[in-house]
Structure 1
Amino acid sequence: MSSIVKLLWAVSTLCEAVPLGQSLLSTPSSSDGRPSIYNSAVMARRIMHLSSIGTLVTTFPPASDEASVEETRPDSVAGSPIGLMEYFADCEPESGNPTLLAINLASPYKNYASGSKISLHIRWWPIQTKHYPIAEESDDIPTPHTPAALPRFSLHGRLEDIPQDEVRDKSIDKCFLKSHPDSQLWQPGNDIHTSKYVRFVVEQVYWFGGFGDRARILWLPMDVWRNVTMQEIEKVRLPGEE
């Protein structure tokens, strides 16, 4: 089968409707060889646990917003989405809610404070040293060598301040600094920016596991997302992991 035909066939499966049958929720893989819905959620939770950088997406408020005047923001971008790199850490793994260090002056947090919805995009990209051209015909080529075949997902929800006593009792700051030592410069109480720890309370998860012939593409059930255990996160392996 040619590479072009393979690619077209894979793309044709991307929008496939996936039933939420019990067998798909609970078994490691389904009859077609794809990971189950539950295992897809475990993979997503592992990606979030191992990763520390995502893309935070918000929309600009109306042009009449006070911040738009201060920033000399073009009126034409009102209501437009903007995605920017953002640090996060999995400091409350039992909850499935990532931790962010919010700087009040940063665009995503200003937009959110003005009423914008918010989402966090996270992707998996293992360290690779070789990429294969599309013209290569070997069926033995592992898909992790192309970013298009690797899993990614989008978290949708809301931000919630983490009280100071929780930051202290759960060592949230130490957890975050372990993933991002450079964030010491903008920790709460610094002399440059006003900042605070917030949790991204996950309300919906859109999972894009990769090519549709070997992965699932769907909205993950939230009870499944929240019930994933740390033991499962540590046990599962992602594409490209040893």
Structure 2
Amino acid sequence: MFFKTLYWLALAWSTSLTSAFETVEDAASIARTLMTSTGVGTMATLYPNDHPYLAGEPFALQEYYSSCHTNGSLTLIFMPISRHSQNILHSRNHSASITVWSSPPAASQARVSLMGKVHVFPDGTGGENSIRECYIKSHPDAKRWLPDNEHGPHTALWARFDPHTIYFVGGFGDEHYIGSIPLPLYQETNPTISVTGRLNVQL
């Protein structure tokens, strides 16, 4: 009788534990929500191979972005004066990563890292009004730095970050999903607003 009771207790515990696990679909939804609601992440790039003393070294710093695309691509203001921008321009694939976490940050909370490519649009786009509106909605303090501001302090261009790899940590591994999220699933989950023009990438 004692062992039978232990068996049923163990079965009940394992069933409840399994049901508490986040699925990859849950992770995709949480990741898209994090990216949409945050607007600030840590971008990481690499110094170019011809840098005199930091060749190949990683560089990470907070950057603004706005989630303006239904497929999860991100809108950036690209400033050539920025260290990240210089690293991206010298990268063969224009590679970067952007990491976002829950607030307040904690080991038990979700965080996601997107790895991808940055596409710069030096000659403008067909959807600038929509892009501008979307970006300013996330970052009203960035009006002075917009690409179309003739009196802006720095040269600025619109750019789009297209992720190709998504890695998610939902929290502690015994309760949350940890691992990669397939790109098609990420792109199709919880779409946000869409804009027209060259900055927009359709699913």
User: How high is the TM-score relative to the length of structure 2?
Assistant: 0.78
Distance 2:17 2:144 in 1: 48
* Unpaired segments ≥5 residues, structure 2: 1-15, 193-203
Q: 2:175 pairs with 199, 214, 224, which one?
A: 214
2:95 touches 2:118 (CA, 8 Å); kept in 1? Answer: no
In the other structure, the counterpart of 1:42 is 29
- Corresponding residue of 2:163: 202
> How far, CA to CA, are the matches of 1:198 and 1:119 in structure 2?
14
* Residue 48 of structure 2 is aligned to residue 61 of structure 1: yes
Cα RMSD of the aligned pairs, angstroms, is 2.0
After TM superposition, list the pairs within 5 Å mapping 1:91-102 onto structure 2.
91-92=68-69, 94-102=70-78
Match of 1:121 in 2: 99
Q: Please say if residues 17 and 175 of structure 2, whose CA atoms lie closer than 8 Å, have aligned partners that are also in contact.
A: no
Q: Is structure 2 residue 193 aligned with structure 1 residue 193?
A: no
The number of residue pairs the alignment matches comes to 171
1:150 positional shift: 0.5
Question: Is the 2:74–2:160 Cα contact (8 Å) retained in structure 1?
Answer: yes
Q: Say if 2:157 is the partner of 1:180.
A: no
1:206-229 Cα distance to aligned partner (Å, 9 max, x none): 101110011011011111111113
Deviations 1:24-65 (A, max 9, x none): xxxxx9834111101110110001111110011001112x45
Q: Deviations over 1:112-133 (max 9, x none)?
A: 100163100111115xxxxxxx
**Runs of 4+ with deviation above 6 angstroms:** none
Residues 86/80 of structure 1: CA separation in 2 closer, same or farther (3 Å cut): same
Partner of 2:126: helix, strand, or coil? helix
Query: Which of 54, 57, 67 is the equivalent residue of 1:80?
Result: 57
The question of whether the paired residues in 1 share the 8 Å contact of 2:33 and 2:190 is answered with no
Residue 101 of structure 1 deviates from its aligned partner by 1.0
Check whether the contact 1:30–1:36 (CA below 8 A) recurs between aligned residues: no
Give the corresponding residue for 1:150.
109
- Quote the Cα distance in structure 1 between the aligned partners of 2:116 and 2:30: 20
Contact map agreement 2:28 2:186 (CA 8 A) in 1 = yes
Scaled by the length of structure 1, what TM-score is found? Answer: 0.66
Q: Counterpart of 2:8?
A: none
